[in-house]
């Protein structure tokens, strides 16, 4: 049988990147004592008040169809939140509610770009971005994010890759997998290029609330000079420890959301009113759980740095936000993939190969910060032992 070209464009861009994670889960299911540091699930439960609100709304019959854009109460709560954040008056017509950041990005890219266009995106990058861009039919043009610049995207690297086909500058701040946070200076320099070349800026801000002490989150959407060309995506998955509810949104100029609406309606025709009620409650006040997560994740990142950095030539990057840290294992002579697979088999520690996040992270691995300190410490002991063993063999 024949299949659509999209299936070929996406082949290899989906589950294959998560193979070590899947293998770790199956080993765990067979009873192996695996320390699972692959994916980024929040380390706390969804706040009971939010679950109570979802239940209340279900009991109150909030189970009918919604509309394509989102429930009015949630749109109003989003408008209030982003008006406060930006200092401008942001209207409910500047949002569309979608099931998570992932779906929002899918709809956003379908609205902004397509075959023949180029999307500039950092490398390393979150594992689904290549698939998102390929699904739209556009081509991903990778902008290297370098450790010596704290993995923050540099305007000069972007400028060198802009062509007449460039349509979108795709940012992710705070960044997964590196935990880099773009500075006001970075945003101004990148924004100037977007203005000069008439580009859209798409800013994935799903980790906005998981910024560590000392770092400062800045969004291009908050800069009035960039607001008419910026689209933000976010959700309650990380900030409210609620990934399973699949509740997210995009924000942008009203003209953009008007264009996006038929795309969203075609995909879903509305999301769930009871989840919208819960989300509206969650985003109307500071998250009960985000600050605690940020504090714990920062502490664990520091712990990993203290345990592994410099040990036998290993280098640990210091994240400024998010749920992960990245470890340079080039000194072992192994690729990130070989390291992650052998570490799982030989020491029962599961980490993600850097290669799953782009060629720039070959020879690195990503470590999740979402387990208890004691388990992280034990994982570091095993990683150090395994790395030393590889280096002895190589010597
Ligand atoms: C950078 C980034 N964007 C988007 C997502 C997906 O988030 P959501 O659960 O809101 O779809 C993730 C999840 O890990 C992520 O790390």
**pLDDT at res. 369:** 98
- The pLDDT-based confidence of 311 (bands split at 50, 70, 90) is confident
**pLDDT at res. 122:** 98
Q: What is the pLDDT of residues 164-193, one digit of tens each?
A: 999 999 999 999 999 999 999 999 999 999
Q: Kindly give the number of the ligand 1 atom that is closest to the alpha carbon of 243.
A: 9
How far does residue 248's CA lie from ligand 1's centre (Å)? 10
Q: What is the pLDDT of residues 56-98, one digit of tens each?
A: 999 999 999 999 999 999 999 999 999 999 999 999 999 999 9
- The pLDDT-based confidence of 199 (bands split at 50, 70, 90) is very high
What HEC string does the chain produce? CCCCHHHHHHCCCCHHHHHHHHHHHHHHHCCCCCEECCCCCCCCCCCHHHHHHHHHHHHCCCCCCCCCCCCHHHHHHHHHHHHHHHCCCCCHHHEEEECHHHHHHHHHHHHHCCCCCEEEEEECCCCCHHHHHHHHCCEEEEEECCHHHCCCCCHHHHHCCCCCCEEEEEEECCCCCCCCCCCHHHHHHHHHHHHHCCCEEEEECCCCCCECCCCCCCCHHHCCCCHHHEEEEEECCCCCCCHHHCCEEEECCHHHHHHHHHHHHHHCCCCCHHHHHHHHHHHCCCCCCHHHHHHHHHHHHHHHHHHHCCHHHCEECCCCECCEEEEECHHHCCCHHHHHHHHHHHHCEECEEHHHHCHHHCCEEEEECCCCHHHHHHHHHHHHHHHHHHHHHHC
* Ligand 1 pocket test, candidate residues 105, 129, 130, 176, most atoms within 8 A of CB: 176
Q: What is the pLDDT of residues 108-122, one digit of tens each?
A: 999 999 999 999 999
pLDDT tops 80 at residue 298? yes
Q: What average pLDDT does range 150-155 have in this prediction? A: 98
Mean pLDDT over all residues of the chain? 96
Its pTM stands at: 0.96
- The pLDDT-based confidence of 107 (bands split at 50, 70, 90) is very high
How far does residue 395's CA lie from ligand 1's centre (Å)? 40
Domains of the chain (ranges plus CATH)? Answer: 5-45+289-394 (3.90.1150.10), 66-283 (3.40.640.10)
């Amino acid at each position: 049988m024949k299949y659509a070209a999209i299936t070929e464009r996406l082949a290899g861009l989906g589950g294959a990147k998560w193979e070590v994670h899947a293998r770790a889960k199956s080993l765990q299911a067979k009873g192996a004592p695996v320390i699972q540091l692959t994916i980024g699930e929040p380390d706390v439960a969804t706040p009971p008040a939010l679950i109570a609100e979802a239940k209340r709304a279900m009991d109150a019959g909030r189970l009918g169809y919604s509309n394509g854009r989102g429930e009015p109460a949630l749109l109003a709560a989003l408008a209030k939140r982003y008006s406060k954040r930006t200092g401008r008056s942001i209207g409910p017509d500047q949002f569309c509610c979608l099931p998570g950041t992932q779906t929002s990005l899918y709809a956003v890219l379908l609205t902004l770009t397509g075959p023949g266009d180029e999307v500039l995106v950092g490398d390393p990058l979150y594992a689904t971005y290549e698939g998102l861009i390929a699904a739209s039919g556009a081509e991903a043009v990778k902008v290297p994010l370098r450790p010596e610049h704290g993995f923050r995207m540099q305007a000069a690297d972007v400028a060198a890759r802009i062509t007449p086909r460039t349509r979108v500058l795709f940012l992710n701040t705070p960044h997964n997998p590196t935990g880099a946070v773009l500075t006001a200076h970075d945003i101004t320099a990148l924004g100037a290029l977007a203005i000069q070349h008439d580009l859209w800026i798409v800013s994935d801000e799903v980790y906005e609330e998981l910024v560590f002490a000392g770092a400062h989150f800045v969004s291009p959407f908050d800069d009035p000079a960039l607001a008419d060309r910026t689209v933000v995506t976010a959700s309650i998955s990380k900030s409210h420890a609620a990934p399973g509810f699949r509740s997210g949104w995009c924000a942008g100029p009203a003209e953009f959301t008007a264009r996006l609406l038929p795309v969203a309606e075609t995909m879903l025709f509305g999301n769930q009113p009871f989840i919208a009620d819960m989300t509206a409650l969650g985003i109307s006040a500071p998250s009960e759980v985000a600050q605690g997560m940020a504090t714990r994740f920062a502490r664990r990142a520091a712990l990993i740095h203290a345990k592994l950095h410099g040990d036998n030539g290993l280098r640990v990057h210091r994240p400024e936000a998010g749920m992960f840290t990245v470890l340079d294992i080039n000194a072992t002579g192994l690729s990130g993939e070989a390291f992650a697979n052998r570490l799982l088999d030989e020491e029962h520690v599961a980490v993600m190969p850097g290669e799953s996040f782009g060629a720039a992270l070959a020879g690195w691995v990503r470590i999740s910060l979402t387990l208890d300190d004691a388990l992280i410490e034990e994982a570091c002991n095993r990683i150090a032992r395994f790395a030393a063993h590889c280096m002895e063999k190589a010597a």
